[in-house]
Structure formats: structure tokens, C-alpha cells
């Protein structure tokens, strides 16, 4: 049995003249009717967990979703789970699930970049492909994956790279796990393996700020966020370099005993301790900041949320 859990997103939306744009409209049963190819995959169950645009899924809802997926996986009646999700924040949810779910039962996140009223609607293919991946025997043990436009990606690596194209999800810092073509799933040797935390948090309680560097940054935003947050992700230039005043503000977080993770705004590559001038990434790492490693800023932010909430160091249980 494949469990289809619907949370909303563009795949569920239709145009509303009254609202002036696309809004959630379709439930899971309606989407299943629009994807008759699901019948060739095998029996499915449908759960309407929610009908939310992706930006409406805050940490409380995401943790409730994670807990519901844990229940479904533990039921013993499913061989895989498909979750439909808005693409705007799908990468954060995929990363969260990859770090907090038992990888034995595959969980596949998917969505759409077009509404079902458009000729080039991609939701039908994505839904069927995702069910094929969730049900494949080779998927067992791979944990959370993302499937759109025929590409299978690790939940630890999938990123939305284009605001409007249907092939938007890529793994800029990794590699695809496989592809879905001709009704078959083919896995490769690429992609990062599942890496669940050594222990789960009780809830996502950590308040983590993320501040991108801008030219001439005075550090005012970094300083202003310190009292209301438990940790900070700084998005630097290049290898993690910052304007000197911003670096000084980040060091004040470290002096207060609050973790600081240093990420790069670059599409590929990682923060490295190369530049030791004032504001250089090497200086902040020497002061105690943590390099984001092979994570985009959004993933570094979720990693700090999850690990800090669990009382664990950043990157616990996996290569940082």
C-alpha cells in the first residue's frame, strides 16, 4: 500500500477570479482522479492532512506533519509514503524529514509548478512518479526523497533553483539519486545517504535567525536579532567572508554563548577557512563559528533548528 498524504501547494491550486490568482482548491481524491496512472502503481490510501500554501507551513505544522508520518510509517501497512507539498519551502521540509524520520520506510515529497488548469500541468507526472519511487523495493532504507520532473533527489540535497520552471529541483552540491523514466525507477550511486539524528527533539523549539550579508553591512540586523533568537545563520559572500562590522556583530553572538553557522550565498561550493583578513571567513571560524558544509543557507538554517532543539551539536550524526 502507498499512502498519499496531501498538504496542499500549487498541485492543489486553481485560479480564483475573486482572489486574483491561484489558491488551494483540490483535495486528495480530486488529485487522484486527475492522475489515473496511479492505478498502475498499486493500491493507495488518501489522507487530506491539509490544504496549505507552502509559506503557511510553520515549524509547529511541520513538526505535526513529521509526527503524522512517523505514525503512518509505524502502522506496518504501508511500503512507502508520498507527501504533496508546496515547492516554495519543500527543501526545508525535505531536510527536516531526512534528519528526523527512520529511513526504513521511504517518504517521497513532490508538488507541481503549474496548476491543473494549465496545459503543461506537471502534477500528474510528479504524483505518479513519486508513487513509483515510494513503492520501489530499492527505495527501502533511503529515507526522505524529493521527486519532480523525473528526477529523484536526496532530501538532504534537493533545492528549488528556478522560480517558475518545472525542472526546478536540483542538487547543486550533490547528485541525483536516480531517475524515473518509462514507468521504471533507476537508482544511481549519487546523492547523500539518509542521516537521521542520534535522537529526535520533542518539538522544534529553537528560534534561529538567518541574516544575509550585504555590501557595507553594519551588523545592525545581526545585533538586533540576538536577544530574540537562540542561534544564527549568517549568509556570507564567497567562502564565507563578511563586511568587518557584520563579522564583529556575529562574534558578539559567540561571546553570548549562542551558535553561529556561516553559509555562503553562492549556488555551489562551501565555506572554507581561506581568508584571514578582518571579516574573512577564516577569522569567524577561528572565533568559533561553524561552517555550513555542503548545505545551502535554507538547509543550514533547518539543521540548526533541528539540532539545537534536540540539544545536539550542528551536524550530529553526519558529516558536517
Condensed to tens digits (0 to 9), the pLDDT of residues 58-70 reads 999 999 999 999 9
What is the phi/psi pair of residue 204, to 5°? -90, 80
Q: 208-310, which class in CATH?
A: alpha beta
Q: What per-residue confidence (pLDDT) applies to 194?
A: 84
Domain ranges in the chain are: 2-187, 208-310
CA–CA distance from 35 to each of 109, 205, 236, 245, 273 (Å)? 16, 38, 43, 54, 50
Q: Considering 7, 10, 115, 144, which one is annotated as catalytic?
A: 10
Cα 70 to Cα 1, 80, 105, 249, 273: the distances in Å are 16, 12, 9, 40, 39
- Cβ–Cβ under 8 Å, residues 86 and 10: yes
- Please say if 45 is a catalytic residue: no
Whether 2-187 and 208-310 share one fold: the answer is yes
| Residue 297 pLDDT greater than 60, yes or no | yes
Q: Is the pLDDT of residue 320 over 60?
A: no
Per cent of the chain over pLDDT 70 is 99
Q: What is the pLDDT of residue 18?
A: 93
- The pLDDT value recorded for residue 159 is 98
**Which whole number is the average pLDDT over 106-122?**
96
**How far apart, in whole angstroms, are the C-alpha atoms of residue 80 and residue 12?**
21
CATH of domain 2-187: 3.40.50.1170
User: What is the average per-residue pLDDT within 21-30?
Assistant: 96
- Predicted confidence (pLDDT) per residue in 202-243, tens digit: 999 999 999 999 999 999 999 999 999 999 999 999 999 999
Residue 319 pLDDT > 80: no
Q: Write down the pTM of the prediction.
A: 0.97
Phi, psi of 283 (to 5 degrees): -65, -45
What pLDDT is stored for residue 193 in this prediction?
83
Q: What percent of the chain has pLDDT over 90?
A: 97
Separation in Å, CA 182 to CA 31, 52, 82, 150, 186 = 22, 32, 20, 10, 10
Amino acid at each position: 500500500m502507498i499512502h498519499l498524504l496531501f498538504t496542499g501547494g500549487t498541485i492543489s491550486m486553481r485560479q480564483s477570479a475573486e482572489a486574483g490568482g491561484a489558491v488551494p482548491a483540490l483535495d486528495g481524491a480530486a488529485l487522484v482522479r486527475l492522475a489515473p496512472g496511479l492505478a498502475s502503481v498499486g493500491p493507495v490510501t488518501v489522507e487530506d492532512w491539509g490544504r496549505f500554501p507552502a509559506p503557511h507551513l510553520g515549524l509547529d505544522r511541520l513538526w505535526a506533519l513529521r509526527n503524522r508520518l512517523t505514525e503512518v510509517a509505524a502502522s506496518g501497512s504501508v511500503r512507502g509514503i508520498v507527501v504533496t507539498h508546496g515547492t516554495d519551502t519543500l527543501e526545508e521540509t525535505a531536510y527536516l524529514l531526512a534528519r528526523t524520520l527512520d529511513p526504513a520506510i521511504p517518504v517521497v515529497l513532490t508538488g507541481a509548478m503549474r496548476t491543473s488548469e494549465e496545459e503543461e500541468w506537471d502534477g500528474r507526472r510528479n504524483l505518479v512518479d513519486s508513487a513509483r519511487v515510494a513503492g520501489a523495493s530499492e527505495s527501502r532504507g533511503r529515507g526522505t526523497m524529493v521527486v519532480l520532473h523525473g528526477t529523484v533527489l536526496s532530501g538532504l540535497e534537493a533545492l528549488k533553483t528556478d522560480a517558475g520552471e518545472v525542472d526546478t529541483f536540483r542538487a547543486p552540491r550533490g547528485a541525483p539519486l536516480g531517475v524515473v523514466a518509462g514507468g521504471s525507477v533507476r537508482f544511481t550511486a549519487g546523492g547523500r545517504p539518509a542521516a537521521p539524528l542520534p535522537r529526535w527533539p520533542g518539538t522544534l523549539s529553537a528560534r534561529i535567525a538567518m541574516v544575509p550579508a550585504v555590501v557595507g553591512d553594519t551588523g545592525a540586523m545581526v545585533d538586533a536579532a540576538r536577544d530574540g533568537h537562540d542561534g544564527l545563520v549568517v549568509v556570507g559572500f564567497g567562502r564565507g567572508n563578511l563586511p568587518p562590522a557584520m563579522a564583529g556583530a556575529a562574534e558578539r553572538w559567540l561571546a553570548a554563548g549562542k551558535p553561529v553557522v556561516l553559509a555562503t550565498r553562492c549556488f555551489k561550493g562551501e565555506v572554507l577557512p581561506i581568508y584571514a583578513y578582518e571579516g574573512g571567513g577564516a577569522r569567524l571560524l577561528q572565533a568559533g563559528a561553524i561552517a555550513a558544509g555542503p548545505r545551502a543557507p535554507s538547509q543550514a538554517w533547518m539543521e540548526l533548528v533541528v539540532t539545537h532543539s534536540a540539544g545536539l551539536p550542528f551536524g550530529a550524526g553526519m558529516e558536517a
